[in-house]
Amino acid sequence: MAITAEVKQRELTEEHVSELAKFAGDVAIRGAIGMVVALSFTPGAKEGIEAMGLIAIDIDDLLRIVSLWDPMKQRTAVASFEYYAHHVERNSSLSNRLRAFVKDRSECPKG
């Protein structure tokens, strides 16, 4: 089964839910799993998105999920995203921000 995602770099409100109707329809036609990833959701927005048959995931959800991954899976995910940013998006600004983020995280004390 395919997974497809709509990612928003903002908080989604109930007013944004209707903007996801086409995405939800496309997901249903393909028989895929559809995820909407956002920084956060206001009360009612997450419920509205899930009522469309989509999975709503915010930053706290992502951090909880990734914390369950073993270190090898985490490294693979980072390497995959680095490849995507550099070779698929070909976005030097994104690649540079990602490299800085990874460098900053790798210098953080573990604990």
List, for residues 54-100, the tens digit of each pLDDT value: 999 999 999 899 889 999 998 898 889 888 888 888 888 888 888 88
Q: Write down the residue that tokens 């989509």 correspond to.
A: 54
Domain range list for the chain: 3-64, 69-106
CA dihedral (95, 81, 85, 105) in degrees, to 10, reads: -10
CATH number of 3-64: 3.40.1350.10
In this prediction, residue 110 carries a pLDDT of: 58
Report the Cα 58 to chain-centroid distance in Å. 8
> Is the separation of the CB atoms in 31 and 53 below 8 Å?
no
In this prediction, residue 108 carries a pLDDT of: 64
Alpha-carbon gap, residue 45 to 16, rounded angstroms = 8
Q: pTM score, two decimals?
A: 0.74
Which carries the bigger pLDDT value, residue 105 or residue 99? Answer: 99
When computed from its CA atoms, the radius of gyration of the chain, rounded to whole angstroms, is: 16
How many helices (H) and strands (E) in the chain? Answer: 6, 3
Which carries the bigger pLDDT value, residue 45 or residue 108? Answer: 45
- pLDDT, tens only, 29-42: 999 999 999 999 99
pLDDT at position 109 over 70: no
> Is the separation of the CB atoms in 84 and 62 below 8 Å?
no
CA distances from 86 to 31, 79, 80, 83 (A): 30, 11, 10, 5
